[in-house]
Amino acid sequence: MSKLPTSNAIYRFFWTFDSIVSSSVFEAWDGLKRGGSAYSSFLYRFKITGLRRIFVDLVDDATTFGTVFAFCLLAYALPPFSGTGDVWNKGRDYAVTFTDASGEIIGRRGIRQDDAIALEDIPPSMIKAVLATEDARFFDHFGVDIIGTSRAILQNARANTVVQGGSSLTQQVAKNLFLSPEKTIRRKVHEAFLSLWIEARLTKQEILKLYLDRSYLGGGNYGIEAAAQYYFGKSVRDINLSESAMLAGLFKAPTKYAPHQNIENARARANVVLYRMLDVGFITQGELLQSRRQPAQFVAQANLDSPDWFMDWAYGETLALLEAEKLTGDFVIEVKTTVDMKLQTAAQKILNDVVDTQGPDYKFTQAASVTMTPEGAVKAVVGGRDYIESQFNRATNAERQTGSAFKPFVYLAALLEGYTPDDVILDAPVSVGGWSPGNYSNKYAGRTTLRTALAKSFNSVPVRLMIDIGRPAIIKAAHDVGIQGPLETWPPMVLGTSSLTLMDLTTGYATFAGGGKLAKPYTILEIRRPNGDLIYNRKAHEQPAPQVVPEEKIAELNSMLGAVVKAGTARRADLGFAPQGGKTGTNQSYRDAWYVGFTAHNVTGVWVGNDDFTPMDKVTGGLIPAPAWKQIMDVAEAGQKPESLAGIPLDETYTLLAAAQPETTLAPVTDETDALAPNTPLAEADPAGVDVVLNDMFSLFKEDKTANRAPVSRRKRVAENSPDRFVLPSANTTKNRAKAFFDDLVKNNQAPKKKRKKKKLFNIF
């Protein structure tokens, strides 16, 4: 190698680098040429020509392009399926059979299905019929029947239409479990991939069992056991060859060949199945002829008088319970419920009669009711006039303003703050801002007790209680006793402007009936598998109901609610033979009328109104709902021994009334209505009402020694800076509460800082 041309270090570096690169490239290229020459020399000894060369080239190209096609097909047709989790039940519907407490079936919800029959218990004739028509080579292929698919393609091409299916039984299982029924090439490819996946994880017997249990067979039935029960009135264990053929014929087109739709089509299809069984050697000619002479007979199902409203609600409760208890692995279940079928049927008939006979005159078209025990066991639910015409459940889903039926929660809050039923309060005009509610009668009683105010459903008294104790205390009291719905926070809420369902409102009253123990509505007693295994029992899972309100306070409230029945707006609901309490309710413009009442055994709520919120013709809670409640409770209480309620003891008066209660026409009941909207002017009282109020106000100057008034120190106060509390004038917090309240009434009707003249005293209203 010659010497470098320069002694400069930089030039010498680049010169050396260039020589290394040039040498490396030359040597690499020379090595490639030598390697190629050697490889060519090696292959020369295998050189072929002629037809063999053409064949090798074809195989080589087919392998190359086939590999590329396979990867493209996989990317296109790979189903959206992870293969993880409980894949065999993903998207599966529940099949729920409901019974009453004695085990008698009352109806079903979800799908009809029963997968409790073992494969060994299914008659061979049933299995052979299915295999003959759906996949005769099921036990011979690996999930995709190449021979069967090719034969189907040929037959369909000859007929120029689809006369034979090409899907194997495994592919149909894949479609039933994981895919939609759309007819596309992509779905067929998905079937093929999934069938291979299934065959790799399940045995042939397990695949066959899935197919027999999960396939739709018409009439809402899934699986051969449910279909046999529905069409033939017996278990699949007991069916004969003719019935097996008819069931097997349903797999192809369940709606078209369902025997309850067209028995002739079903028998014609069964004959096709029999001849197919003969062709593949599963039956003899004699068996075929005998089956044709004795075709399967469809057994019409008896129409159950199902409590549809009750079951709709119970079905939702069942699904929620299965989720909460993590029992989601069972999809075919039997649920024992709390329903009382005698009461359910009677309540539906009673309300239908009320709507039919009184609805046209009073302009209402719907009614609903709920009956439960004080613990919350729901015994009957009537959601409307006719389930067939409308499945909307007005007892559990319709939220309506409750009107005066909400007042007991206001009085309960007052009792918890220290008031007593015999405390005296003024029933007189009252305003909160621009809102001035009036009484239903446009009259005022003056000084009255809380007991009388609730019995007569005075509107001014709950407002005064709200001003004193604050709305947060009322909302808390309502939620504490079981009210789940949201409650409004504006002043008219004390008169029932919050919208609640009948079920929700009745639940609150159930806590009253239970002596302050929290009631939670429920319908489920037990859940079992079809084979009888118990998977849920309420007694073993539920905790005792907590005491959410002191029993002595509930006793005070119940004594007031008893007065509503005996001397107030709910006299038409008086049973006479048992201690009871309740409250009527009527909302704005007579759009809804309620009555909720209870005994020691049952709590029932009744509502009447219209779906479109149109007003009724002056229907109050005491006019229509209360008498309907009494009819329902007469049935519910039949055979029950009357018992005392907290605050309403059972004494001899009930026995005397029950023994000699005459059939009389009650005098008109002074009822309640209208939680009046804000800015409603004060109701104009008649002169007699004014005189009563004035006389009572003058008597306030005298010390009332008979009034059972709780000391001010006993009352719990809401924080003065709370936005939900109306602060009374300071004079009203002194010891002389009566005189201060009179002064307050006078001051509200004079200009600020001006002394009112005596001659205008009688113009305060």
Q: What is the dihedral of CA 508, 509, 513, 519, to 10 degrees?
A: -20
- Tokens standing for residue 691: 């005189």
Q: 469-486: buried (b, 16+ CB within 10 Å) or exposed (e) per residue?
A: bbbbbbbebbbbbbbebe
For residue 265, CA distances in Å to 130, 249, 261 come to 18, 10, 9
Strands 332-337 vs 524-528: parallel, antiparallel or unpaired: antiparallel
Strands 95-99 vs 332-337: parallel, antiparallel or unpaired: parallel
Choosing from 125, 134, 291, 369, the catalytic residue is 134
Q: What is the DSSP string of 496-529?
A: T-SEE-HHHHHHHHHHHHTTTBPP--B-EEEEE-
Query: How far is the C-alpha of 715 from the C-alpha of 423, rounded, in Å?
Result: 13
Q: Residue 232: enclosing H or E segment and its boundaries?
A: helix 224-232
Strands 112-113 vs 424-427: parallel, antiparallel or unpaired: unpaired
Cβ neighbours of 286 (radius 10 Å): 8
> H-type helices in 682-729, by residue range?
687-698
Q: Check if 499 is active-site.
A: no
Query: How far is the C-alpha of 596 from the C-alpha of 506, rounded, in Å?
Result: 6
Query: How far is the C-alpha of 322 from the C-alpha of 529, rounded, in Å?
Result: 13
Query: How far is the C-alpha of 309 from the C-alpha of 373, rounded, in Å?
Result: 18
Cβ neighbours of 89 (radius 10 Å): 14
Strands 221-222 vs 112-113: parallel, antiparallel or unpaired: parallel
Are the beta carbons of 464 and 573 closer than 8 angstroms? Answer: no
Cβ neighbours of 216 (radius 10 Å): 18
Tell me how far apart the 2 most distant CA atoms of the chain are, in Å: 142
**Residue type for 255, please?**
T
Are the beta carbons of 594 and 625 closer than 8 angstroms? Answer: yes
Q: Residue 534: enclosing H or E segment and its boundaries?
A: strand 534-537
Are the beta carbons of 498 and 483 closer than 8 angstroms? Answer: no
Choosing from 167, 215, 404, 498, the catalytic residue is 404
**Residue type for 437, please?**
P
Q: Check if 134 is active-site.
A: yes
Are the beta carbons of 496 and 404 closer than 8 angstroms? Answer: yes
Cβ neighbours of 427 (radius 10 Å): 24
Catalytic residues: 134, 404
